Amino acid sequence: MPYWSFWTLRCVLAGAGIGVCQAGLARRAGSMVRLLPEEFSFGLETWITMHEELKGVVRMKATFDHLAEAMSAYIRDQESPA
């Protein structure tokens, strides 16, 4: 699927068919059912970067560290069974 949009998700939630989305989105929706998890699994590389000159700025480092931890926690949650 080339791209997943808000409207595609809305159509699936309304019962218009099946679709692909992140497990976290499906969990929050509550009404979606995961189909064939053993047959279909899509990896998504995730990167977080900061400009070299900003590494010494305390508030930027704090923001970076928070984002890195929150993203890591989100990824760990996605890896656990639905």
Looking at the fold, whether 54 and 80 belong to one and the same domain comes out as yes
Give me the phi and psi of 55, to 5 degrees please: -60, -25
- 81 and 48 co-located in one domain: yes
Tell me, yes or no, whether 22 and 10 share the same domain. Answer: yes
* Other Cβ atoms within 10 Å of 26 Cβ, number: 19
What's the rounded Cα separation, in Å, for the pair 32 and 54?
41
Predicted structure pTM score: 0.56
Instruction: Give the domain extent around 6.
Output: 1-42
User: Are 16 and 53 in a shared domain?
Assistant: no
Residue 65: what pLDDT? 96
- As given in the structure block, the two tokens for residue 65 are 């560290």
Does one domain contain both 37 and 47? no
Q: Count Cβ atoms below 10 Å from residue 36 Cβ, excluding itself.
A: 7
What are the tens digits of pLDDT across the range 15-67? 888 888 877 778 888 888 888 888 877 777 888 999 999 999 999 999 999 99
